[in-house]
Amino acid sequence: MSPPPTDGIDLALQHVGVRFGGLVALDDVSLRVPPGRIVGVIGPNGAGKTTLFNVVCGFVPPTSGALTLDGRPFRPRPHRLTRLGIARTLQGVGLFPGLSVVENVMAGASHAARAGFAAALFGLPRSDRDERRLRDVAHDLLAELGVAEHAAAAPAALPYAVRKRVALARALIARPRLLLLDEPAGGLSAEDITELGELVTALPGRAGGACSIMLVEHHMDLVMSVCHEIVVLDFGRVIAAGTPEQVRDDPLVTEAYLGADVPAGAAAPGAGASS
């Protein structure tokens, strides 16, 4: 593995719009994820969060507007993300059922690092040393995320919260400079969410490689506690942006959340109580 830069990437979206036929899913959305920062994107159901996530991953091409990465034009393509230093976790978990936990993490490594591992999977000649080194890195990541004791287990046998951590380890092994998280709190208990918040907070400064984070999330408490900046979407538009305090006190945000179907576990801003 060549040592990649670990400063975090500067991602920007400028006036991005997405239409699905007659439906405007994103309308003139501009935002920035500066190096080393955790930026949250929140909004009620149907606000356009997943669409925004998919634009950055390259699954949905913007109908208008542009993206930049470190100031250069950026046309995202899903298969090129790892090479650009971008990793993502999806709304579900998506681990490979046929691989053990540690093998799942190894599978997230960059193409070059994985070559030896893939050769091993397909029974080709390989470098045992490369594979062992990659396995050690995967073990270290599982330990960092507090799930090392599950390394040999099959993912299906594990609680959902553990599988989510494995998925995070799989994203981190590629040493991303930008990590995209889509609704990481989904399906987790309040206690699991608190622990997840602590893990995410530590990511920009971690010794194994710092990164910027874009956190797309419905769960208000998590976003409020971990993000440096928050962008609020409603009906595809940015209705507020700023620090958690600024966003929490914004009447437009309260209205968007209270006027919408607030799911269990997602407190409205200013409502205070944690779920």
Ligand X SMILES: Nc1ncnc2c1ncn2[C@@H]1O[C@H](COP(=O)(O)OP(=O)(O)O)[C@@H](O)[C@H]1O
Binding residues (CB under 5 A) for Mg ion: these are 49-50
**Cβ-based nearer residue to ligand X, 87 or 216:** 216
CA 178 – CA 216 distance, rounded (Å): 13
Q: Which CB atom, from 50 or from 110, has the smaller least distance to ligand X?
A: 50
Buried b (16+ CB within 10 A) or exposed e, 135-150: bebbbebbebbebbeb
Q: Which is nearer to ligand X, 47 or 230 (CB)?
A: 47
**Is 273 an interacting residue with respect to ligand X (CB under 6 A)?**
no
Residue 126 CB neighbours (<10 A): 16
Nearer to Mg ion, 8 or 44 (CB): 44
- Give the CA angle between residues 189, 191, 193 to the nearest 5°: 70
Nearest to Mg ion of 44, 269 (CB atom): 44
User: What mask, x for binding ligand X by CB under 6 A, covers residues 191 to 220?
Assistant: ------------------------------
Q: Which is nearer to ligand X, 61 or 94 (CB)?
A: 61
- The 3-class secondary structure across 54-88, one letter per residue, is HHHHCCCCCCEEEEEECCEECCCCHHHHHHHCEEE
Phi-psi sector, 28: left (phi>0), alpha (psi -120 to 50), beta: left
CB of 218 to Mg ion, least distance (A): 7
Choose among ligand X, Mg ion, none what residue 47 binds, the Cβ cut-off being 5 to 8 Å by kind. ligand X
Q: Candidates 31-39, 40-48, 125-133, 256-264 — which segment interacts with ligand X by CB under 6 A?
A: 40-48
Site string for ligand X, 8-27 (x = CB under 6 A): ------------x--x-x--
Stretch of 7-15, 44-52, 109-117, 195-203 contacting ligand X, by CB under 6 A: 44-52
Say if residues 111 and 121 touch (Cβ distance below 8 Å).
Answer: no
Tokens of 260: 């919408």
Q: How far is the CB of 16 from ligand X (least distance, A)?
A: 12
The least CB distance from residue 274 to ligand X, in Å, is 22
Instruction: Give dist(CA 14, CA 221) in Å, integer.
Output: 28
Nearer to Mg ion, 62 or 209 (CB): 62
Residue 167 touches which member of Mg ion, ligand X, none, C-beta under 5-8 Å by kind: none
Cβ neighbors of 63 (< 8 A, separation 6 or more) are: 17, 18, 19
Binding residues for ligand X restricted to 45-64, rule: CB under 6 A: 45-51
**Helices 160-172, 190-202: crossing angle, 10 deg rounding:** 10
How near is the Cβ of 106 to ligand X at its closest, in Å?
31
DSSP letters spanning 196-243? HHHHHHHGGG-TT---EEEEE-S-HHHHHHH-SEEEEEETTEEEEEE-
Task: Point out which residues bind ligand X (CB under 6 A).
Answer: 20, 23, 25, 43, 45-51
